Chains A and B, each alone.
Chain A
Amino acid sequence: MYPASFEYYAPTSVSEALALMAKNADARLLAGGHSLLPAMKLRLATPPTLIDIGKIKDLTGINDLGDKVSLGALTTHCQVERSALLKSVCPLLPEVASHIGDRQVRNRGTIGGSIAHADPAADYPAALLALGAVIEAQGSGGKRNLNADDLFTGLFQTALNANEIVTAVHVPKTDGAGNGVAYAKFPHPASRYAIAGVAVWVKIENDSVANIRIGVTGAADHAQRAKKAEAALQGKPMTDENIAGSANVAADGLSTMGDIFASADYRAHLVNTLALQALNQAHARAHGWH
Chain B
Amino acid sequence: MGVLGQSIKRREDPRLITGEAKFLDDIQLPGLVHAAILRSPFAHAKIKSINTDQAKAYPGVIGVFTGKDFMDLNPLPCAWAAGGVKNNLNTPRCLEPDRVTHTGMGVAVVVAQDRYIAEDALALIQVDWEPLPVVTDAKKATEPGAPQLHENAPNNIECEWECGDAAATQAALDGADVVIKQTLINQRLIPNSMETRGCAAQYNPASEEYTVWMTSQAPHVMRLLMTAFVFGIPETKMRVISPQVGGGFGTKIYLYPEYVLMAALSKKIGCPVKWSETRRENYIATTHGRDHITDIEIGVNKDGALMGLHVKTYANMGGILSTIAPGIPTTLYGRLLSGPYKIPHIYCHVSNVYTNTAMVDAYRGAGRPEATYVLERAMDLVANELGMDPTAVRRKNFIPSDEFPYTPADNILAGLTYDSGNYTLTLDKALDMLDYTGFRQEQEQARKKDKYLGVGFSSYIELCGVAPSAWIGLPGQGWGAGLWESANIRMHLTGKVVVTTGSQNHGQGHETTMAQIVADQLGIPVEDVLVEHSDTAGAPFGYGSYGSRSGAVGGVAVYRAAERIKEKAKRLAAHMLEANVQDLVYQDGKVMVKGTPAASKTIQEIALASAVGYSLPEGMEPFLDETSYYDPPNCTYPFGTHICVVEVDKHTGSTRILRYVAVDDVGNVINPMIVDGQVHGGIAQGAAQALYEGAVYDDNGTLVSGSLMDYAVPTAHMLPSYETARTVTPSPVNPLGVKGAGETGTIASTPAVVNAVLDALKPFGVKHLDMPLTPEKVWRAMNSNGGKA
A residues in contact (CB < 8 Å) with B: 1-5, 42-43, 102, 186, 188-191, 260-263, 266, 269-270, 273
Interface segment out of the listed B255-263, B709-717, B739-747: B709-717
Q: Is the CB of B280 within 8 A of A263?
A: no
Question: Assuming A190-B709, A260-B704, is B776 touching A2 (CB within 8 A)?
Answer: no
A37 to chain B, nearest CB (A): 14
3 interchain residue pairs of minimum CB distance: A189-B712, A190-B712, A266-B776
Of B114-122, B153-161, B180-188, B422-430, the one contacting chain A is B114-122
* B residues near A2, Cβ cutoff 8 Å: 36, 115-116, 119, 278
Set of chain A residues within 8 Å of B708, measured between Cβ atoms: 190
B496 adjacent to chain A (CB < 8 Å): no
Q: How far is the CB of A129 from chain B (nearest CB, A)?
A: 22
Interchain CB contact under 8 A, B711 and A190: yes
Residue of B nearest to A276 (CB): B651
Give the nearest-CB partner of A195 in chain B: B775
CB distance from A270 to the nearest CB of B (A): 6
Contacts of A270 in B (CB 8 A): 652
Residues of B within 8 A of A43 (CB): 119
For residue B781, give the distance in angstroms from its CB to the closest CB of chain A: 12
The answer on a CB contact under 8 Å between B279 and A5 is no
Known contacts A189-B718, A262-B776; A4/B652 CB under 8 A: no
Residues from chain B with Cβ under 8 Å of A189 in the complex: 692, 712, 714, 718
Cα A3 to Cα B120 in complex, Å, equals: 9
Nearest opposing residue in chain A for B115, CB measure: A2
Asked whether A269 lies within 8 Å of B774 as measured between CB atoms, the reply is no
Residues of chain B at the chain A interface (Cβ within 8 Å): 36, 115-116, 119-120, 278-280, 651-652, 654, 692, 696, 704-705, 708-715, 718, 774-776, 779-780
A263 CB contacts on chain B under 8 angstroms: 776
Which of A3, A190, A273 is close to B713, meaning CB atoms less than 8 Å apart? Answer: A190
CB–CB B278/A1 < 8 A: yes
Which chain B residues lie closer than 8 Å to A269 at the CB level? 779
Q: Is the CB of B709 within 8 A of A261?
A: no
Main secondary structure of the interface of B (DSSP, over half): loop
Interface of A is mostly: loop
Task: Name the distance in Å between B400's Cβ and chain A's nearest Cβ.
Answer: 42
Chain A residue contacts of B692, Cβ below 8 A = 189-190
In the bound complex, CA of A20 to CA of B115 (Å) = 30
Q: A273-B651, A273-B652 are in contact. Are A260 and B119 (CB under 8 A)?
A: no
Contact of B779 among A4, A42, A266 (CB under 8 A): A266
Could you say which residues of chain B place their CB within 8 Å of the CB of A262? Answer: 775-776
CA distance A102 to B715 in the complex (A): 11
Residues of A within 8 Å of B780, CB to CB, are: 266
Residues of B contacting A186 in the complex (Cβ-Cβ under 8 angstroms): 652, 654, 775
Q: What is the CB-to-nearest-CB distance from B149 to chain A, in angstroms, rounded to a whole number?
A: 25
Q: Which residues of B contact A260 (CB under 8 A)?
A: 696, 704-705, 710
A288, B692: Cα distance in complex, Å: 38
Distance in Å from the Cβ of B55 to the closest Cβ of chain A? 15
- Chain A residues with Cβ below 8 Å from B652 are 186, 270, 273
Give complex CA distance A25, B517 in Å: 67
Distance between Cα atoms of A269 and B776 in the complex (Å) = 10
19 residue pairs of the A-B complex, CB under 8 angstroms, read A1-B278, A2-B36, A2-B116, A4-B119, A4-B120, A42-B280, A102-B715, A189-B692, A189-B718, A190-B709, A190-B710, A190-B711, A190-B712, A191-B709, A260-B696, A261-B774, A261-B776, A266-B776, A266-B780
Write out the residue numbers on chain A whose beta carbons fall within 8 Å of the beta carbon of B711: 190
**Cα–Cα distance between A132 and B24 once the two chains are bound (Å):** 52
A1 to chain B, nearest CB (A): 5
List of B residues within 8 angstroms of A190 by Cβ: 692, 708-713
Q: How far is the CA of A218 from the CA of B84 in the complex (A)?
A: 54
A270 CA to B653 CA in the complex, in Å? 10
Q: How many angstroms between the C-alpha atoms of A263 and B777 in the bound complex?
A: 10
Measured between alpha carbons, how far is A116 from B280 in the docked complex, in Å?
A: 27
Once the chains are docked, how many angstroms separate the CA of A260 from the CA of B704? 8
Complexed CA–CA distance, A255 and B692 (Å): 26
Cβ–Cβ < 8 Å partners of B709 in chain A: 190-191
User: Counting chain B CB atoms within 10 Å of each CB, which of A5, A102, A263, A273 scores highest?
Assistant: A273
CB of B574, distance to nearest CB on chain A (Å): 63
CB neighbours of A5 from chain B (8 A): 116, 120
Bound state CA distance, A1 and B116, in angstroms?
9
